[in-house]
Structure 1
Amino acid sequence: MKIFKYVLFLMIFSSMCLMAKTEVKVPEMKTETVYINGNKNFEIIKPSFTDNVKFKAVNDEINRIIDIDAITKDEKEICSDDPERCEHYELSIGPDMIYADNNVISFTINGYQYTGGAHGGGWVTSLLVDRKTGKLITETLKTNNKAVFNKIQKYIIDNPEGIFFEDEYTVKELTDSAVVYQSGKDTIGIIYLNYAVAPYAAGMPEFEYNTKTKKLYFFDSYSGDEVKKVEIK
């Protein structure tokens, strides 16, 4: 029995929801709630752009990420092979609007699944859209600013105390595994999901890069009761 090929073992990052302090309205988008085969444990809130000509590439990418046909087939297999497991199995997928202005729309698609055991797992992917052209923006921090990830590498090496794994990650590994999204007019969020660079208990380490001041920060939620925004020199 195959498991959803696009569902990773990573925990859904609720911290992104906290980043969006005010409601982000994007009238170009709509959402549709889908229950796979009528199973209320399989709830999908699927976003799409209403103008499928202008935003066709984005809608195609959303359809690739949220493959309703594949999910439907997998749900049938699970419930046919193991009805008891099907009863307790959960899958939820939905969007999180992070930031929007006249030029860009930044949002994520988050997924969570539970298949038994101590806890569930999740995944997230980020999309950045040119609001004027309707195209996906692929030139991001991951492709044009290696200096940021050099600093992240050094910080992880120098600060393993109960937060990061002690593995020696290359800059390329840290770049490839990062989820990067625009969190504000001049800010870029960089987050590492569970097990990417830290154990499950450490959560999801989060960084922020200010494109205007060129400063990099780490959100330290591990050293005390409050989250501290630490500048990385």
Structure 2
Amino acid sequence: MSEKNREGKRAARDRLAAQREKQKSAEKRRRGMIVGAAIICVLALATVGGLLAANAGKKSSASGPTIGPSGATGKDGLAIPVGKEAARSTLTVWEDFRCPACKVFETVYRPTLRELVDAGKLKVEYHLVTLIDGNMGGSGSLHAANAAACAQDAGKFKAYHDVLYDNQPKETEDTFADHAKLIGLAGKVGGLDTPTFQKCVKDGTHNGWVKKSNDAFEKGHFTGTPTVLLGDKNIIEDRTMTPAKLKQLVEAAHKS
């Protein structure tokens, strides 16, 4: 074989190897796009329940005085903050504990949010609403939100918040309407199941506050739950958003 032929074959092999590397890179990018799109699609599909509730659930069964939980902040004291006040970025989450889409968001984003909050780079402000009660009937959204506010009084909101989502019933089942169920779940959070917490849950101490929060959601003309705002941007509507991208945005703001 001549030197010219050997060089030609080497060049062909090099071109083939380069083409394979390009294909591998393209496939890797494609898989990444599929994962990101899948997350958004699951959230979008699950949000249908919240969207229907937003249209149907214009009335709340909550009543009584407005007694906000300890440490509530924001306009009219309707936000439950998690994280350091000095964090450069704030994520505003409007959620319903009966909402399947809210659980999807929690499942996908919780590890990233926890990491950013623990690092002091992000503060999350939770707003509790009762859309599913209005759409499906019942009072589970209201009672769960009140119980979460009672947990906030005890300084254990986030832990109980996570327990509620980890034990979320089917959207059609009003399991959280049962005070005994909510109190039983408090047993999964160390030091929360106390007589004070139990009384707060049974009395519906924060029901009026939950109603006021739900009213604020409706006045905000949001389309469904979860509504998740980073600044003024609803990240649920961003089809390119992933936990990794959110982390990049928060860390960039932290460094600026």
Same fold (TM over 0.5): no
Q: Which has the higher strand share?
A: 1
Which of the pair has the greater relative contact order for Cα pairs under 8 Å at 6+ separation?
Answer: 2
Higher fraction of helix:
2
TM-score normalised by structure 1 residue count: 0.25
Q: Normalising to structure 2: TM-score of the pair?
A: 0.24
